Homo-oligomer: A and B are copies of this chain.
Amino acid sequence: MNFRLVFRYLGLLLAVLSGILAAIWLWSAGWRMFGNPSSPLVIAEQHAGWSFLICSLVGFLVSGSLWLWTRRSPPQFGRREALLLVGLSWILGAALAALPFLFWSFFSGRGASGHPFGSFIDCYFESMSGLTTTGSTVLSNIEDLPRSILLWRAMTQWLGGLGIVVLFVAVLPTLGVGGKKLFRVEAPGPDPEGVRPQIRETARVLWIIYLGLTLAEILALRIIGGMNWFDSVCHTFTTLSTGGFSTLNASIGGYNTAVQIIVIVFMIAAGVNFALYFALLRRRVTGVYKDSELRFYLFLIFFSTFIIVITLMAAGNPIVLTRVTETGAYEEVPATFGNSLLHGMFGALTAQTTTGYCTADFNQWPFLAKAVMLTLMFAGGCAGSTGGGIKVIRVWVAIRVLISELERVFRPQVVRPLKIGSAALDSDMKLATITYVFGIVALFAVGSVLIMTLEQWLNPAAGIDYTTAATASIATLCNIGPGLGGVGAVENYGWLCAESKIIMCLLMALGRLEVFAIIVFFSPRFWRGD
The CA of A435 and the CA of B438, in the complex, are separated in Å by 9
Q: Does A439 contact B (CB under 8 A)?
A: yes
CB pair B452–A367 under 8 Å, yes or no, is: yes
The residues in A between 426 and 459 inclusive whose CB is less than 8 angstroms from any CB of B are 427-428, 430-432, 434-439, 441-442, 445, 449, 452-453, 456
What count of chain A residues pass the 8 Å CB interface test? 46
Do the beta carbons of B453 and A410 come within 8 Å of each other? no
Say whether A371 faces chain B, with CB atoms less than 8 Å apart: yes
Q: Say whether, besides A79-B410, A456-B367, A523-B407, A434 and B438 are in contact (CB < 8 Å).
A: yes
Q: Is A298 an interface residue (CB 8 A)?
A: no
Q: Kindly provide the distance from the CB of A453 to the nearest chain B CB, expressed in whole angstroms.
A: 5
A516 interfacial contact with B, CB 8 Å: yes
Query: Contact: B516 with A409, CB < 8 Å?
Result: yes
Interface centre among A79, A410, A438 (most CB of B within 10 A): A410
Docked pose: A401 CA to B441 CA in angstroms: 15
Q: Does A377 contact B (CB under 8 A)?
A: no
- B401/A431 in contact, CB under 8 A: yes
Residues of B with C-beta under 8 A to A439: 402, 405
Q: Would you call A290 an interface residue if the criterion is a C-beta within 8 Å of the partner chain's C-beta atoms? A: no
Check A410 against B371 for contact (C-beta < 8 Å): no
A406 in contact (CB, < 8 A)? yes
**B525 & A435 in contact (Cβ 8 Å cutoff):** no
Please measure, in the bound complex, the distance between the C-alpha atom of A366 and the C-alpha atom of B427, giving whole angstroms. Answer: 43
A467 beta carbon closer than 8 Å to chain B: yes
Contacts of A456 in B (CB 8 A): 366-367
Bound state CA distance, A208 and B427, in angstroms?
41
Q: Are B407 and A83 in contact (CB under 8 A)?
A: no
In the bound complex, residues from chain B placing their C-beta under 8 Å from that of A432 are 405, 408
Which residues 413-435 of A have a CB within 8 angstroms of B?
427-428, 430-432, 434-435
- Contacting pair A409 B83 (CB below 8 A): yes
Q: Nearest Cβ in chain B — how far from A412, in angstroms? A: 7
Contacts of A31 in B (CB 8 A): none
Is A268's CB within 8 Å of the partner chain B?
Answer: no
* In the complex, chain B residues whose CB is within 8 Å of the CB of A525: 407, 411
Chain A positions 83-142 with a Cβ under 8 Å from a chain B Cβ: 83
Q: Write out the residue numbers on chain B whose beta carbons fall within 8 Å of the beta carbon of A412.
A: 79
Q: Is A229 an interface residue (CB 8 A)?
A: no
Which residues, 447 to 492 on A, are CB-close (under 8 Å) to B? 449, 452-453, 456, 466-467
Taking the complex as formed, is A526 at the interface, i.e. its CB lies under 8 A from any CB of chain B?
Answer: yes
Q: Bound complex: CA of A79 vs CA of B466, how far in Å?
A: 44
- Contacts A430-B431, A434-B434; is A453 near B367 (CB within 8 Å)? yes
Give min CB distance, A279 to chain B, whole Å. Answer: 28
Task: Let me know if A519 is at the binding interface, CB within 8 A.
Answer: yes
A80 CA to B412 CA, complexed, in Å? 11
Q: Chain B: which residue is nearest A439 at the CB level? A: B402
* Chain A positions 515 through 527: 1 when the CB is less than 8 Å from some CB of chain B, otherwise 0: 0100110010110
A368 interface hit (Cβ, 8 Å): yes
A 371-383 binary contact with B (CB < 8 Å = 1; else 0) = 1000100000000
Whether A398 sits at the interface, judged by CB under 8 Å, is yes
Contacts of A445 in B (CB 8 A): 375
Q: Which residues of B contact A368 (CB under 8 A)?
A: 449, 453
Contact (Cβ within 8 A) A466 B367: yes
A525 to B409, CA, bound (A): 12
16 sampled A-B residue pairs with Cβ under 8 A: A79-B409, A79-B410, A79-B412, A185-B409, A375-B445, A401-B435, A402-B438, A402-B439, A405-B436, A406-B520, A410-B520, A410-B526, A431-B431, A434-B435, A434-B438, A441-B441
A-B pairs with lowest CB-CB distance, top 4:
A427-B427, A409-B516, A405-B435, A371-B449
8 more contacts with CB within 8 A, not counting A185-B409, A367-B466, are A83-B409, A367-B449, A402-B442, A406-B520, A408-B432, A427-B428, A437-B438, A438-B438
